[in-house]
Amino acid sequence: MKKLITCLLLVLVAAPLALAQGGSNDIKENDFNPVNTGVTTLGIAPDARSTGMGYLGAATDPDVNSQYWNPSKYAFGYSQGGMALSYTPWLRKIVNDIFLAELAGYWKPGSGDNQAISASFRYFSLGEVTFGGNQTGGGAVQTINPYEMAFDLGYSRKLSEHFSMGVVLRYILSDLSWTDTYTSESNSAASAFSADISGYYVSYPMIGRNECQFAWGFNLSNIGTKVSYDHGANNAFLPTNLRLGANFMFPLADYHTLAFGVDANKLLVPTKPRSKDYDTSTPEGQLEYEEAVQKWNDQSPIAGIFKSFSDAPGGFKEELQEITWSLGAEYAYNQQFFARMGYYYENANKGGRSYFGFGAGFSLNVVRLDASYLLATSQNSPLDQTLRFTLSFDLDGLRDLLGKRRR
């Protein structure tokens, strides 16, 4: 049964973290200390546009997939509504049956153009896992299909001509459950509720004769309950995350625009105590370590958010290492053709996921197709060559099309 648990942890955590820096052999073992959470798939970006810019999305121009990055952007959406379907084959260099799919959409009710209702559903399949049996041939062999999913509803509203805020309520289910008929060991599915709070500010400064666009935004996501996979014996924090970003867009010429943006991310999850930081060779040290783990396990999610800013063993320097950075750019021609590029950086001591993102998009009146390609800085990274695809539909364009047909 330990093999099953190890397999699931490899897929969800170890593969993206431990292998992402295959060439970083100079990292000291004592310094490697990634933040541990439950339902880690909530941190996987679903859409092709933002990942093509290196996981950039806190303050970029509003689109249908803003629910994940910053739902308050919907209030400034150019269309009355839309929907999008995204698909990502995950870790395809290792397996071929793991994927992430998401359906997202929004609608702006009324004629005031100052509010929006949004929703999304994401499903992460961990493929097929076979386990059971024993060395003597006893016990039944079982096959399970673990998965994680989340469904959320959001509301955003303009509070002024330039600023909006949004809230999202989310239900999360992580079904990694199994039962070993030979040993009677079992694991349970975990569920949780969470909320997001976001803000978005946009202005249009004049530089020379050109009207530009400057925006900044934030998204505090997955503030919620804990999850447990062992009937409540141990609890895991959700990946509560703070995302801050800024974006600047300016016209190059008629129909040509270029935008640059930067995002900073930090998991607001307390660092779990490590045995290597205590003298566990003595009874006193072992007891001190066990008490520290119990205290960490008993922390409430809200207390953990505040604790996460000052609890790293390496002090303020390590706290800064927990911040991931995204830099990206997007070129657009007449809002019909898009080319994107970006870079994502995570400190090697916190996982070492660093890669370049490339993307392109094509848009017609009704439909838009985006694709992105991830190129890891380490050849041994399982995330290398990850592809994402997003198919979006515009409600205004669809109405125009249907209106023309009726005439």
In this structure, is residue 369 part of a structural domain? yes
Report H helices in 19-92.
48-51, 66-69
In this structure, is residue 287 part of a structural domain? no
Q: Could you give the number of structural domains in the chain?
A: 1
Q: What is the pLDDT of residue 284?
A: 85
| Residue-range definition of the domain harbouring residue 129 | 2-271+308-406
Q: What is the pLDDT of residue 92?
A: 84
The CATH number that applies at residue 76 is 2.40.160.40
Q: What is the pLDDT of residue 26?
A: 47
Q: What is the pLDDT of residue 139?
A: 58
End-to-end CA distance of the chain: 65
What gap in Å lies between CA 136 and CA 208, rounded to an integer? Answer: 80
What gap in Å lies between CA 181 and CA 195, rounded to an integer? Answer: 38
pLDDT in tens, 253-302: 889 999 999 999 999 999 988 888 888 888 888 888 888 888 888 899 99
Beta bridge partners of 125: 99, 147
Q: What is the pLDDT of residue 99?
A: 95
What gap in Å lies between CA 79 and CA 84, rounded to an integer? Answer: 13
In this structure, is residue 294 part of a structural domain? no
Beta bridge partners of 123: 101, 149
Q: What is the pLDDT of residue 18?
A: 42
Assess contact for 129 and 4: CB atoms under 8 A.
Answer: yes
Residues of the chain with pLDDT under 50: 1-26, 405-407
Taking the CA atoms of the chain, what radius of gyration do you get in angstroms? 23
Assess contact for 238 and 192: CB atoms under 8 A.
Answer: yes
Q: What is the pLDDT of residue 395?
A: 87
In this structure, is residue 345 part of a structural domain? yes
Please choose, from the candidates 309, 274, 353, the residue with its C-alpha nearest in 3D space to the C-alpha of residue 51. Answer: 353
Kindly report the pTM of this predicted structure: 0.88
Please choose, from the candidates 11, 100, 56, the residue with its C-alpha nearest in 3D space to the C-alpha of residue 264. Answer: 56
In this structure, is residue 78 part of a structural domain? yes
What gap in Å lies between CA 330 and CA 258, rounded to an integer? Answer: 6
Please choose, from the candidates 386, 390, 39, 13, the residue with its C-alpha nearest in 3D space to the C-alpha of residue 238. Answer: 39
Amino acid at the residue 99: F
pLDDT in tens, 38-80: 899 999 999 999 999 999 999 999 999 999 999 999 999 989 9
What gap in Å lies between CA 290 and CA 306, rounded to an integer? Answer: 22
In this structure, is residue 103 part of a structural domain? yes
**Strand boundaries in 74-162, DSSP class E:** 81-89, 99-107, 115-125, 129-132, 141-144, 147-158
In this structure, is residue 300 part of a structural domain? no
What gap in Å lies between CA 164 and CA 70, rounded to an integer? Answer: 11
Assess contact for 258 and 330: CB atoms under 8 A.
Answer: yes
Assess contact for 94 and 382: CB atoms under 8 A.
Answer: yes
What gap in Å lies between CA 257 and CA 61, rounded to an integer? Answer: 12
In this structure, is residue 301 part of a structural domain? no
DSSP 8-class letter at 229: S
pLDDT in tens, 356-383: 999 999 998 889 999 999 999 887 788 8
The token pair at 86 is 């995204």
Render 278-331 in DSSP notation, one character per residue: S-TTSHHHHHHHHHHHHHHHH--HHHHHHHTTT--TTTHHHHHHTEEEEEEEEE
